[in-house]
């Protein structure tokens, strides 16, 4: 019976402990992660929301340098806890044990806390041991009697003035709330003011010189007031002359400005070519003009071109060859006339921009060799009135759909194909030029001599 009594007492004791520890109560676990938990936070500590107990602290452990608390939330009230709460670990009394206080925030997406959620917004207030650690150096540095005297004086000062002091603090708090948004800008302005002041301080010597010079200038103006008056009189007369001129020529000036729009638009389109043009002009002056007029003496450089170009067509020819100015539509149809196009189309330049690139390269010291001139496609020469291949200088005969220059005379019984072959052989013997390279204009020059006539070259 004694053993049975002991067993019954132990059972009731365990049952009492189980009810006290809420061993038979189910919870929805929520994690709380914080940097520290502070002192006096016991296991089974309360979890409160607006003063109402909504759970208990079931477990406290450290993971990866963080304190992880397992909060057992009451399933009956967890749906009343907002999901966007922040947690504070605060003491019940000044030195009492702590509990977890859940505080709803104004931010968030709504909803309520659920089992398995994690609260990361946590805060632990300053504890008394931290306060004592901070205030201890002050207490050791200042004699206690001085501290007591100061505190007593402060107490006497605040005696009976608590309400007014509180109102003063409240008013100061209102002022600070208004000042705080502009405090950072004010500090920045003060720093900049210091820099500006330093700049002015460095420039004071120059500023003094400026004032001194201004004084001299003012004296000069006073001394030269008669001359200044004369200048103003002449300026007045000039204004009268300009008024008469503008009245007489104003319409012409306006018309000139109006008529300049078209040329200026064309200039704007080809403006990218102007630097290229001037560089080429400078190169022409440096390489050619300066050499021609060297030492104030005219120098003529005669260069023998081989093969010689053929003669130009006469005005009465079926297709006379003479320079023309093509229309803008014709120019636009030729890709090479576009200054914004660069690169090459086979061996030919793709656009006028390529020509400029070649001129820049020549100005930089990399010109093309005479044996490798820049080829221009025949379709570019044709809009300007060129209708002759000129023995390969501007293309081939097939590009211009023309026969040999001397073949036109075959109808008069002169320079038949056999005769031209004989004349070309004679030219080969006389000049040393290969028969295949003899230009067809050679027969026009040699044939009259062979036939007993004279040749006059202009």
What are 374's two structure tokens? 């820049």
pLDDT beyond 70 at 234: yes
Region of 451 please: left (phi>0), alpha (psi -120 to 50) or beta. alpha
Q: Measured between alpha carbons, how far is 100 from 123 in angstroms, rounded to an integer?
A: 10
CA atoms within 13 A on the CB side of 391: 17
What are the residue ranges of helices labelled H in 224-327?
Answer: 225-259, 261-269, 274-284, 290-292
Three-state secondary-structure class, residue 404: coil
| Rounded-to-integer distance, Cα 451 and Cα 75, Å | 129
For residue 455, the model assigns a pLDDT of 47
**Nearest CA-CA partner of 383 in 330, 336, 341:** 330
In the structure, what pLDDT confidence band is assigned to residue 412 with cuts at 50, 70 and 90? Answer: very low
Residue with tokens 């000042």: 179
DSSP characters over 348-396: EESSHHHHHHHHHHHHTT-PPPTTSPPP--HHHHGGGT----TTTTSS-
For 67, 89, 91, the CA distances from 35, given in Å and listed in that order, are 6, 11, 17
User: For 190-231, how does the pLDDT look when each residue is reduced to its tens digit (9 = 90+)?
Assistant: 888 888 888 888 888 888 888 888 888 888 888 888 888 888
Query: What mean pLDDT value characterizes the chain?
Result: 78
pLDDT tens for each residue of 136-165: 777 777 777 777 888 788 888 878 888 888
Contact call for residues 98 and 38 (beta carbons, < 8 A): yes
Neighbours of 358 (CB within 10 A): 17
CA distances (Å), 235 to each of 224, 229, 230, 232, in order? 16, 10, 8, 5
Nearest CA to 82 out of 54, 60, 111 is that of 111
- Nearest of 350, 328, 331, 332 to residue 341 by alpha carbon: 350
Whether residue 296 is predicted with pLDDT greater than 60 in this model: the reply is yes
CB 42 within 8 A of CB 56: no
Q: Does the pLDDT value for residue 121 go beyond 60?
A: yes
* pLDDT score of 261 more than 60: yes
The confidence band for 308, taking pLDDT boundaries of 50, 70 and 90, is very low
What are the tokens at 165? 């002091």
Q: Residue 239's pLDDT is what?
A: 92
Specify the higher pLDDT residue, 95 or 10. 10
How far apart are the C-alpha atoms of 47 and 368, rounded to whole Å? 90
- 31: helix, coil or strand? strand
Look at residues 30, 125, 123 and name the one whose alpha carbon lies nearest to residue 79: 30
Cα Rg of the chain (Å, integer): 53
Q: pTM surpassing 0.75? A: no
Number of alpha carbons in the 13 Å side-chain half-sphere of residue 69: 30
112 HSE (CA, 13 A, CB side): 11
């Amino acid at each position: 019976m004694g053993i049975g009594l002991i067993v019954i007492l132990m059972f009731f004791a365990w049952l009492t402990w189980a009810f006290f520890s809420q061993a038979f109560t189910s919870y929805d676990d929520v994690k709380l992660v914080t940097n520290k938990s502070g002192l006096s936070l016991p296991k089974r500590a309360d979890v409160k929301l607006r003063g109402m107990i909504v759970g208990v602290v079931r477990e406290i452990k450290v993971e990866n340098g963080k304190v992880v608390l397992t909060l057992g939330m009451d399933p009956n009230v967890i749906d009343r806890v907002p999901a966007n709460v922040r947690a504070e670990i605060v003491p019940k009394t000044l030195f009492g044990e702590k509990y977890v206080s859940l505080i709803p925030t104004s931010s968030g997406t709504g909803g309520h806390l659920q089992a398995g959620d994690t609260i990361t917004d946590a805060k632990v207030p300053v504890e008394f041991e931290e306060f004592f650690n901070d205030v201890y150096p002050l207490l050791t540095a200042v004699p206690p009697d001085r501290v007591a005297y100061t505190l007593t004086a402060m107490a006497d000062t605040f005696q009976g003035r608590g309400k007014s002091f509180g109102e003063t603090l409240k008013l100061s708090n209102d002022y600070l709330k208004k000042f705080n948004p502009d405090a950072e800008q004010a500090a920045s302005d003060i720093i900049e003011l210091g820099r500006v002041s330093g700049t002015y301080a460095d420039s004071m010597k120059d500023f003094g010189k400026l004032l001194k010079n201004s004084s001299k200038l003012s004296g000069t103006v006073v001394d030269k007031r008669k001359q200044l008056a004369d200048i103003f009189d002449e300026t007045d007369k000039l204004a009268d002359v300009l008024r008469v001129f503008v009245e007489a020529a104003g319409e012409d000036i306006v018309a000139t400005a109006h008529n300049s729009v078209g040329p200026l638009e064309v200039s704007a389109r080809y403006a990218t070519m102007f630097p290229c043009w001037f560089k080429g002009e400078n190169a022409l002056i440096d390489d050619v003009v300066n050499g021609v007029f060297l030492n104030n003496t005219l120098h003529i450089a005669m260069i023998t071109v081989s093969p010689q170009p053929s003669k130009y067509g006469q005005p009465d020819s079926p297709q006379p060859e003479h320079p023309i100015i093509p229309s803008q539509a014709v120019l636009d149809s030729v890709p090479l006339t576009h200054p914004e196009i660069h690169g090459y189309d086979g061996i030919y330049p793709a656009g006028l921009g390529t020509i400029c690139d070649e001129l820049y390269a020549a100005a930089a010291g990399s010109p093309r060799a005479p044996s490798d001139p820049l080829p221009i496609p025949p379709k570019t020469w044709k809009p300007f009135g060129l209708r002759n291949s000129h023995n390969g200088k501007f293309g081939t005969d097939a590009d211009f759909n023309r026969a040999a220059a001397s073949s036109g005379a075959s109808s008069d019984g002169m320079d038949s194909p056999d005769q031209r072959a004989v004349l070309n052989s004679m030219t080969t013997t006389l000049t040393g030029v290969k028969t295949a390279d003899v230009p067809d204009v050679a027969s026009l020059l040699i044939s009259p001599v062979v036939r007993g006539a004279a040749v006059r070259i202009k």
